[in-house]
Structure 1
Amino acid sequence: MQKSISLSFLLILISFFSIKAQVATDLWVVDTEGSGDSFRPKFETAKPLTNRPLYDNQPNFINDAELVFSAADEKGNHDIILYSFRTGNFTNFSKTADRSEYSPSLTDCKQYISAVVVEPDGTQRLWLYPITGDAPELLYDDIAPVGYYDWYDNKAAMFVLGQPNRFVYARGKGNLQELSTNIGRTIKTRPKTNQVSYIDQNDLKSSSDSKSYAIKSIDLKNGKTTTLGATLSGSQDFIWIDKNHLLMALGNELFLLNPKDQNWKSLGKIAATTHQTITRMAYSAELNKLILVLNRVEKP
């Protein structure tokens, strides 16, 4: 039995960021207007930002004009790409032939682009890439395999792959606090609060074929956990557009949730025959732009 479990875990590790398991994805950009309950994507403006039969995914804004994301090359290696809305140019922020970078984000101190790095031996750890272009630095040498993360108080809250996976917060060297277990892949800091939000897969809200789970937040100051609502059935990615509003997608349709009323409100959908199923998202209030990741439709 132990051998079977260990083999299963190894297969999970191998496939976690596997190229074969990845769907070809593109980034789309949509203009937005309004805020709060009046927030609205202007779907008539929706257009591809990238257009390649490869993996362009995991976008994050790092300032009021620039976006970073993870992109695969023809050899299956993943680098951090920077896109500027000022110039319209794409630039390699990283170009590493012996490792792949995923989930790039700006650190709280704004001096680094962080990324989950699959190292040459397959180890997945969190690294820091100085915005000055200096050599990258390993952040937590003893925390692996890291899957997803976000920042609070210049420390990382992380999804660590395991049986079950763990949700942890690195309060300091040798001080790793376990916040929960068996969470979904989305970890997002709630703006202007001490809270980090996540999907609690221990709290099943729907037993249909496409399951729905509780979205929760934990206050990293007082340890209090709050239920914010439930995921859309079968979806696992969400973002905050402000302190009080969550955005999630189902298929090509976007939904808005104010945790006070617990009901998702449809905002409309992208009409596209070439791309289907919105997953990850990023939003810039300064630019009034929403970035959506959509799967490319394979041609018959």
Structure 2
Amino acid sequence: MNRWLKFLIVSISSITYAQEATEIYLFDLIQNDSIFNIENPINISENVGYDNQPSFLLDGSGILFSSTRNGQTDIVLYNLENKTKAWLTETPGSEYSPIQTPNKKYFSAICLEEDGTQLLWKYPFNRKKPSILIENLKVGYHVWFTSKIIVSFVLNEPPTLEVSNLKFKIKYPIDKNIGRSILKIPNTEKISFISHEHEDPEIYAIDPYTSEKEYLADAVEGSQDLTWTPDGTMIMGSDTKLYKLKPGKDKDWVEIASLEAHNLKGITRLVVSPLGNKIAIVVEE
């Protein structure tokens, strides 16, 4: 069994969402053509325990993330202007991986119930009753492709990349042996994902309608997560370092920043704001 298959098995088993002690830091992201820098870190979670899976609101005014409270995880909204947090859920189960819906009225999140049931739900921002988005599909991670189409990491063996059409209530797989990072590629009609089909993890772009895919790059060694800037540059992290690669322009990953000066390490998830001027990074507590 190769090392990446072992790594993937560990990752799948942890999608009961292992509660690592993590924090989320927000940085200013400065970009001048291909030169990047990060400045002015703010700990937006400031919470003992698990704080993870940040995603920006579509207008960039806030960040949704999952955060530990009373032994479980609920969803928090951080307001960038006021620098305040508001809890959006309080359920018997735990919520993870929040993303604002395209119509901006709701956010979607994974709900892991006390009996082990795990489904994708839709939650109103006004804290009214949520509803199930996709029945009978154990979603681990997801991304909105359009207002009616969701692409998901589904907990099969091996995990599969699946398309759900909410309008016609149909579901179909488009790839397998994938990692947890699935994202809409800016200014395209494609999704990026990390494939574990080969010895080294590879990043691909895929068309959810046709399943046609294109190799983009090998992933940074040891990293499961990436994010896209608005101009189509990928950013990944490893321990204290950030790296960038722009498909079609860069041949290799280039180091762009270090968190060592901020005494931060253990980079995992990261997300760039819609305008490209902020980046939220999950690090060890």
Is TM > 0.5 for Structure 1 vs Structure 2? yes
User: In the TM superposition, what are the counterparts of 1:62-101 in structure 2 within 5 Å?
Assistant: 62=57, 63-73=59-69, 75-96=70-91, 98-101=92-95
Structure-2 change in CA distance of 1:287 and 1:228 (3 Å): closer
| SS state at 2:134 partner | coil
Q: Post-superposition shift, 1:120?
A: 2.8
Aligned position for 1:123: 117
- Root-mean-square deviation (CA), in Å? 2.1
Under a length normalisation based on structure 1, what TM-score does the superposition of the two structures give?
Answer: 0.84
In terms of Rg, which structure is larger? 1
What is the one-letter code of the residue matched to 1:42?
Answer: I
Selected match of 1:256 from 244, 265, 285: 244
Q: Provide the rounded CA distance (Å) in 2 between the counterparts of 1:26 and 1:234.
A: 20
Selected match of 2:127 from 128, 133, 148: 133
Contact (CA 8 Å) 1:41, 1:290: kept in 2 or not?
A: no
User: In the TM superposition, what are the counterparts of 1:133-282 in structure 2 within 5 Å?
Assistant: 133-144=127-138, 146-154=139-147, 155-172=149-166, 173-205=168-200, 213-260=201-248, 261-271=250-260, 275-282=264-271
Q: Post-superposition shift, 1:51?
A: 2.7
Q: Post-superposition shift, 1:35?
A: 5.4
Contact (CA 8 Å) 1:64, 1:287: kept in 2 or not?
A: no
Aligned position for 1:3: none
**Gap runs ≥5 in structure 2:** 1-8
Q: Post-superposition shift, 1:126?
A: 0.4
What is the one-letter code of the residue matched to 1:153?
Answer: T
Q: Provide the rounded CA distance (Å) in 1 between the counterparts of 2:212 and 2:269.
A: 27
Selected match of 2:272 from 276, 280, 283: 283
Q: How many residues align?
A: 273
Q: Provide the rounded CA distance (Å) in 1 between the counterparts of 2:11 and 2:256.
A: 36
Deviations 1:129-174 (A, max 9, x none): 0224321010111212x11111101221011112111110013445
The more displaced of 194-203 and 270-279 is 270-279
Contact (CA 8 Å) 1:204, 1:214: kept in 2 or not?
A: no
**Gap runs ≥5 in structure 1:** 1-8, 206-212
Contact (CA 8 Å) 2:271, 2:280: kept in 1 or not?
A: yes
Contact (CA 8 Å) 2:62, 2:78: kept in 1 or not?
A: yes
Q: Post-superposition shift, 1:48?
A: 2.3
Using the aligned pairs only, state the percent identity: 30
Q: Provide the rounded CA distance (Å) in 1 between the counterparts of 2:213 and 2:15.
A: 28
Structure-2 change in CA distance of 1:133 and 1:240 (3 Å): same
Q: Provide the rounded CA distance (Å) in 2 between the counterparts of 1:190 and 1:162.
A: 25
Matched, 1:28 2:25: yes
Deviations 1:23-53 (A, max 9, x none): 1000111112225523x2334x224223333
| SS state at 1:16 partner | helix
Which aligned runs of 4 or more in structure 1 are off by greater than 3 angstroms?
11-15, 272-275
User: In the TM superposition, what are the counterparts of 1:106-121 in structure 2 within 5 Å?
Assistant: 106-121=100-115
Structure-2 change in CA distance of 1:14 and 1:203 (3 Å): closer
Selected match of 2:37 from 20, 36, 41: 41
